Amino acid sequence: MRKAEIERKTKETDIKLLLNVDGTGKSEINSGCGFLDHMLTLFSKHSKFDLVLNCKGDTDVDYHHTVEDIGIALGKAFSTAIGDKKGIERYGDTILPMDEALILSAVDISGRDLLDFTADMPSERVGDFDTELCREFWFGFVREAKITLHIIMLSGNNSHHIIEGIFKSVAKTLCKAVAIDARFADELPSTKGVL
């Protein structure tokens, strides 16, 4: 089983996170932000990653530190869990419809961190969640996971649907990329011999 346990404590957040990329999509999420709980629950379900998360953050200020730091912790757990990367597919992509929203995501587990996030949110908030925090979450994740991730909104006019489509699309994309090709289980998927 490829899994990792991360504890991250700052003056702004206290996070405990357990990730199993060889899971079945079970989750126990308590981020302190209801909308983020919803997104991470469906991320776990559609990636088939088991995820346990508890976060105490300075949500009296706003959700920025909580969302960004959870992205960082999840990215670190992802990188740790996939270990030496031998046998992984490495690449994945998904075009996912979420009602009127259509989201493309593509990943290269490359060892290089890059986020291309192209999604215009029609509203500034979904409930009490600032929609700009969606990008902050994925930016934190990518930095620590050391992956190249493209997220492109092809269509959409409802911010909730767009963000939900992003989390589901990336979940399915990561699931494909970390799958083990049994024929090459002892090989790195790179001509350089390193990822």
| Structural domain that includes position 76 | 3-184
**Interval 45-57 mean pLDDT:** 98
Given this model, what pLDDT does residue 96 score? Answer: 98
In a domain, 150, yes or no: yes
**Interval 4-31 mean pLDDT:** 98
pLDDT tens by residue, 90-139: 999 999 999 999 999 999 999 999 999 999 999 999 999 999 999 999 99
Whichever domain contains 94, its CATH number is 3.30.230.40
Q: Closest Cα to residue 154, out of 107, 114, 120?
A: 120
Distance CA(33)–CA(123), nearest Å, equals 18
In a domain, 191, yes or no: no
Q: Closest Cα to residue 130, out of 138, 121, 141, 139?
A: 121
**Interval 52-63 mean pLDDT:** 96
In a domain, 130, yes or no: yes
In a domain, 68, yes or no: yes
Whether the pLDDT of residue 194 is over 80: the answer is no
pLDDT tens by residue, 153-178: 999 999 999 999 999 999 999 999 99
Q: What is the largest CA-CA distance in the chain?
A: 51
In a domain, 189, yes or no: no
In a domain, 193, yes or no: no
In a domain, 192, yes or no: no
Per-residue pLDDT band at 185 (split at 50, 70, 90): confident
Tokens of 111: 């060892």
**Total domain count for the chain?**
1
In a domain, 53, yes or no: yes
Q: Of all helices (H) and strands (E), which one includes residue 129? A: strand 129-130
